[in-house]
Structure 1
């Protein structure tokens, strides 16, 4: 068992939001169809937010970001998909990729079909599954007692919210639950803790799948300080505790993969993989080769 490497696994599942999940998936893209990403769909900012406001539906930005990072064969299609409109007109700031996903969503029976059509156009082998195919937003009860709606507003909070919920009790995408059940390894993170990672753990059927899973689960922490003040001030142990409270199962997270500077107080009962992980030029980005090594170390640390 402990001599296994990533290459031996039949199914790896990564959970998260745009940049962080995209980084993990591009690191593991050699797994091809054995890799599945489950993507947060609660973004209400930027191009995604504008499309949701005018057209409804789920947020596409995080999925688009992951697809961008998984493109290995540049083409006209990939250049179009990555294109962002400039200028000051109505399209200014919009990503063509978001508009393409929204258009395909309108033409498809379900959002997952839209993603699969884009994946085949971009020659992306890994699966990407939206956490839910039903539109939903993030909502928080602030320490003041006020209700705060949407990721953008929640990211402005200076203190941890008293409660974090979704605006409606939506269901997780069926394929996401199947992927978790079949997984040999589950990774959550890195990403904005309150607005990219926690929304996934607010889906009841998804947390039930995590409680029943057979695969080890590792939390991959951020390397840089978060923009959100409340999340930036959380300790590693507090993050693990908050995730496990949401999943309703103690010690559901088998281990953490962290940078050499992260404090590990109150986490003595977990596998701790602590090693250099940052790229040379962007210290808040995980280096793909170093992350690959760290994940192999994590697998080898399992009893």
Structure 2
């Protein structure tokens, strides 16, 4: 159910102190002079609390306690995402990785689009940083509906937070439903092959699968936007893989980096590399007919076109980069 219209507005109640009535209008109140000692400045008025922020916080708490808040059919909780999930990620985005995003003008202000990104970094932080770039850098502040692997949703707590933040399973049916409803959808076709590749293979795109993301975009008639991410590869340089431990834990890999697991929890802190996220020019799909959707060569060619656009953008950005950390 939607929140009441006045849920986010705070009411200001005038303060009245008994025994201190205002002087009659005919009597001019006498103001005591303010005496400042040498080197002392006059006291300034204390800033008033932001009524809008306080009002939103109170409305949020009231909605959580009463159950009066809205989620969509995929479990996306827009209010919780904006107030609780994005702020800590924004610290990583702005202060730790110092992300520089470009090409946000290629993202549509309304309507569906499919954003296709390279995947890397051992831990998939690139996905959430891309979602934050879409939300913060575009004037419309749209949310990116990310398609994730089933492992994400099987993981306790992380799976629930993923659903709340708008993520859903990486399958064609969910992707098409989101695109048809006018959402921005993010996909990382390399999957675990990309995010878990060794450091020696950094910035070399892995196979993009069978092109299922292209088929979803064709059926929805939405543009495909290539997105290249530089900087994520060096956050956790993967130099080894403990396969028996990975099988025991049900993980696709158990990474060994220069600092993990040697230094324990401290080794799990990502390196503060400088990130660049670039949204490329859209590749239109609306001009194809219904008969074209069953053409495997069309899907193959579009998949290769998107992959090549991302790879060339990576090479261009790497040639311009001065250092991993700036």
Where on the TM-score scale, by shorter chain, does this alignment land: which range?
A: 0.3 to 0.5
Q: TM-score, normalised by structure 1?
A: 0.33
TM-score of the two chains, using structure 2 as the length reference? 0.31
Q: Who wins on radius of gyration, i.e. which is larger?
A: 2
